[in-house]
Structure 1
């Protein structure tokens, strides 16, 4: 909760990846708030009122995961909404005459997106979700200390560049520093 709040303000891409990690963390703890308290919340050096707030936050996510049917796999609607919002923003950036640098990063990334989508079972996944899924998968491989090919690392570097640019532009717009009209 503390990290999510900070990331949401500072870097929307990191926020979404973090929230996907939280979903997996909840699943790893069997959607059991007592396990989450012991394995996660108690690790934070925070006052009791903050720990209570964290517990409430995790309980809310657990309830949503059960209600939305994503206890085993998939993403919460709140996280899907971030993808929808980012996709809308991404399309606005691509249409904006004032954003040639963003367009250049996107078109440099596009071949990697196309390749990933051809390998995907679900062809209807939005481009940005494909990018986030690739980056999240890469992060999981790194955590498992699995070897990653140079080709994959190059693709991830380019996808990261796109998501970084998108996040910077998104924050600029939220801060009132970007006008796409």
Structure 2
């Protein structure tokens, strides 16, 4: 079976983890992270993407939602630890509700995309022409011996020069 749907699911989960974390952080009044904080956020997104693509159960929207939620919490914690946390803006319950809604919507969309990609892959595989049967070896070729040498051997023998210095003088 093709691994393309799982890889696409993992890529979407990782990218959405980073995008949703940054969007919520910016809407809450925080600045975009730089340096080590951005790298830590990318590591979290990569871990979520890797888990989503390697786990067979991640095709289920509930498992995928849990992975996305864990990524959101970890990303939020990294941004909060580095001091550039939300100052003013929306109340905390609104931010949590927006995160939950976005996580549920993202998990549902990724799950639907995963199922559509699998169905499309199967349809393409089924409609593709089958490979022709392998060519069978038709026995061994019969080699015949001849009384006369082959013409190529005669031409080669006649093209070799026998000229050279006399044997007595070369010593």
Superposed pair shares fold, TM > 0.5: no
If the length of structure 2 is used for normalisation, what is the TM-score?
0.25
Q: With the length of structure 1 as denominator, give the TM-score of the two structures.
A: 0.24
Which structure has the highest helix share of the two?
1
Q: Which has the larger radius of gyration?
A: 2
